[in-house]
Amino acid sequence: MSPVIEVRQLHKAYGDTVAVDTPANLADRVETEQRIQFRPSVPLPDHLLESLPDVTNVIYRGDVVEVTGNSNALNAVTSVLARNQIVARQLRVDQANLEDAFLALTGHAPQKQPEKQGA
């Protein structure tokens, strides 16, 4: 089954079709922040990440750094780390997914369909 058909059927199950596209393209259209988490190879200089225009928040939890920012935050953070010869160890990035797109397009989370009897 192609991704476009899968998305179209998902929306029709809840009423009107609100968007038809691939899951990846729908997720890309959602304006959500990226969440980046990593352990820097050396302590970060003061305000290194906070000064980046694409970054909205930086939290330090011991040796773990959590950064929140716009869709370009990952590029901005990794670029400034590279310029300062800092390695981002155990890098984790959370971005918008198909469920986030569904919520943004419909205003509510997907509802589970009742299971069919005898299936």
Segment 78-114, tens digit of pLDDT: 999 999 999 999 999 987 666 766 666 666 555 555 5
* Judgement on whether residues 76 and 64 belong to the same structural domain of the protein: yes
Same domain, 67 and 105: no
Supply the pLDDT for residue 59.
94
Q: Report if residue 83 sits inside a domain.
A: yes
Domain that holds residue 60: 33-95
CA nearest neighbour of 88 among 33, 48, 31: 48
pLDDT in tens, 18-56: 667 676 666 666 666 789 999 999 999 889 999 999 999
**Does residue 90 share a domain with residue 41?**
yes
Judgement on whether residues 15 and 51 belong to the same structural domain of the protein: no
Are 62 and 81 found together in one domain? Answer: yes
The structural domain count of the chain equals 2
Instruction: Answer yes or no: is 61 within a domain.
Output: yes
CATH value at residue 66: 3.30.70
Counted residue by residue, the chain has a size of 119
CA-CA-CA-CA torsion sign (14, 20, 22, 23)? negative
The answer to whether position 118 is within a domain reads no
Taking the alpha carbons of 27, 33, 35, 41 in that order, is the dihedral positive or negative? positive
Same domain, 90 and 37: yes
Same structural domain, 89 and 41 = yes
